[in-house]
Amino acid sequence: MKKFLTKPLILTAVVALIFGAGIGVFAKTRSKQTLQFVHVTRMDIIETVSLTGRVQAKDSVNLGFEKSGSVSSIFAAVGDRVEMGKLLAVLLNADIRSSVLEGQANLEAEKSKLSALERGSRPEQIELEKLKVANARQNLADALMNLTAALDSSYTVVDDVTHNKIDQFFSNPRGTNPSVIFSVADSQLKTDIESGRFTLERTMEVWPKKIRDSLVTGDNEGAIAEVLRNVTASRDFLGSVSKAINSLLPSSPITQTVIDGWKADVSTSRSSVNSSLSSITSYAEKWRTARSNLALEEQQFSLMNAGSDPEDIAIQKAHVAGAEATLQKLESELRKTELRAPIAGLVSFKDLKVGETVTANQKVFGIIGDSAYEIEASVPETDIGRVTLRTPVVITLDAFPGAFFQGVVSEIDPAETIVDGVVSYKIKIAFTKPDERIKSGLTANLDIETRALKGVLSIPQIAIIETDEGASVKKKERSAVKEIKVTLGIRDREGNVEILSGLALNDEVEIVGLKTSK
């Protein structure tokens, strides 16, 4: 047999014989098959666009502070359920909080002033203000009396220092040419001391009258200035004398004991004069304060007694408005240091620690909203024309096989999205009923019902032959089957196809179950 099959001509004949036999067997088997047919019927068909999307929270936010700062406190963790307005975290804000409190107090004060102006003065308030004026007037009188006493006392002090303590160092001290009785090495210092003593004597002669005349005419400021000049001149004169005395050395007839006595007299004199200067300055300031207080109380009484001026009320309203604006600005700055939940939901992430410095708008918290879930999907440009708002959608979730959910198209982006050169449009699907099984991130399969027709001619998809030249069916005509052209309409997800032309009701077509190419 092996030798027989190795001959080429014989081998070819055998193969041909076997192939021919196989074709004959197949043809005989095919001819014996029973063909299956379906009738053209009328039915309702719903056209759909099938997509895949992902479930997401309808309200989900990532949050960050509006300003940079150091984290002071954190009040929520991942997994916590928070209500709208819940405080999540705070930056260090003691300085701003203090400013807000100050702003609140200032606003209340301005409002109180406005209320008082609008209400007007009550009789008891006027009487109280009248009493304040009387008290202020008495305080001014007391202050003036104390000031006058201090001015008079200053003359006594300088007179005592000059004539009882210092004149012992001079010959002819009250004359036109007073002379120091001890030797002064510094000639200029000696000249300053002797001329100073002469000038001081002339000052003492006119001092009382000038001060008295100023007080009588009410020129209290002039009297104060005159006395301060005189006492200051005395102080400076004593400084020069002290310098000369401190440079003395014992000699006959001026012993060390004498020098020490002189030093003590000069020191005591300087202390008295300096004390007098302080006293005048202090009483002069108290008198000025009392004078200002009286003027203020008199003005307040005059305003209160005259009633509120409409212009004053308008001005005070402006002050209130200004205080309110300042407070609002401060409160806005305070809110920038506080991070609050804008929606109710679940904390999905947290990226901050106490003491950590964060920058403005850095994402530190995420919240998935409780309100509802939706599905985001992309529709090819070839199908977007068939998708409209409120279109019903049948939804299945990979996580729950066999379960069906209902939804509607809630949003369609007006602008296209291009990925790798492919144009599509984002849409959002809203669930029509809440379901606790739904969670963010689940994969969703969508059948969007774009068009529904009732009572149209239709056949199953498996009875249609589709080629590059169009669609056709094999129609049964008596005992024969004839292929004819048909025009197709919409299709549903169960595989039924609308027939627009080519077939009539109850026609029989063969189930071909495939797509061929001629």
Q: Where are the domains of the chain?
A: 48-56+372-510, 60-92+337-367, 99-120+311-334, 124-307
| Stretch 158-183: mean pLDDT | 93
Residue 514 is predicted with a pLDDT of 52
Q: What are phi and psi of 258, to 5 degrees?
A: -65, -45
The amino acid at residue 412 is: I
Tell me the pLDDT tens digit for each residue of 129-162.
889 999 999 999 999 999 999 999 999 999 999 9
At residue 61, the pLDDT reads 86
* Section 75-85 average pLDDT: 90
Q: Which CATH superfamily is domain 48-56+372-510 in?
A: Efflux pump adaptor protein, beta barrel domain (2.40.30.170)
Q: Which of 333, 341, 362 is nearest to 89 (CA)?
A: 341
Dmax over Cα atoms in the chain, in whole Å? Answer: 175
The pLDDT of residue 344 is 85
**Mean pLDDT computed over 449-463:** 90
Can you tell me the mean pLDDT for 93-115? 92
Look at 168 and 116; give whichever has higher pLDDT. Answer: 168
pLDDT at 4 over 70: no
With 60 as the cut, is the pLDDT of residue 86 above it? yes
d(C-alpha 445, C-alpha 393), whole Å: 10
DSSP string, 498-509: EEEES--TT-EE
Tens-place pLDDT, residues 118-127? 776 677 777 8
CATH number assigned to the domain with residue range 60-92+337-367, chosen from the 4 options 2.30.30.360, 3.40.50.1220, 2.60.40.10, 2.40.50.100: 2.40.50.100
Count the neighbouring beta carbons within 10 Å of the beta carbon of residue 197: 24
pLDDT, greater one: 336 or 370: 336
Q: Is the pLDDT at 402 greater than 50, yes or no?
A: yes
From start to end of 241-383, where are the E strands?
A: 338-340, 345-350, 357-358, 365-369, 373-380
CA 443, CA 445: separation in Å to the nearest integer? Answer: 7
> Taking 80 as the threshold, does the pLDDT of residue 293 lie above it?
yes
pLDDT at 518: 42
> How high is the pLDDT of residue 127?
85
Q: Please tell me the predicted confidence (pLDDT) of residue 449.
A: 84
- pLDDT range class, residue 13, cuts 50, 70, 90: very low
**Which whole number is the average pLDDT over 442-458?**
90
Identify the pLDDT of residue 370: 65
Q: What are phi and psi of 465, to 5 degrees?
A: -105, 120
Structure tokens at 456: 């149209």
Question: What would the mean pLDDT of 464-481 be, rounded to a whole number?
Answer: 91
Q: Is the per-residue pLDDT at 2 higher than 50? A: no
pLDDT band at 315 (very low <50, low <70, confident <90, very high): very high
Q: Is the pLDDT of residue 19 over 50?
A: no
Average pLDDT over residues 292-300: 91
pLDDT (average), residues 170-199:
93
Q: Is the pLDDT of residue 60 over 90?
A: no
Q: Which pTM does this prediction carry? A: 0.40
For the beta carbon of residue 68, count every other beta carbon within 10 angstroms.
Answer: 13
Instruction: Record the tokens describing residue 150, joined without a space.
Output: 């201090």
Q: What is the pLDDT of residue 312?
A: 82
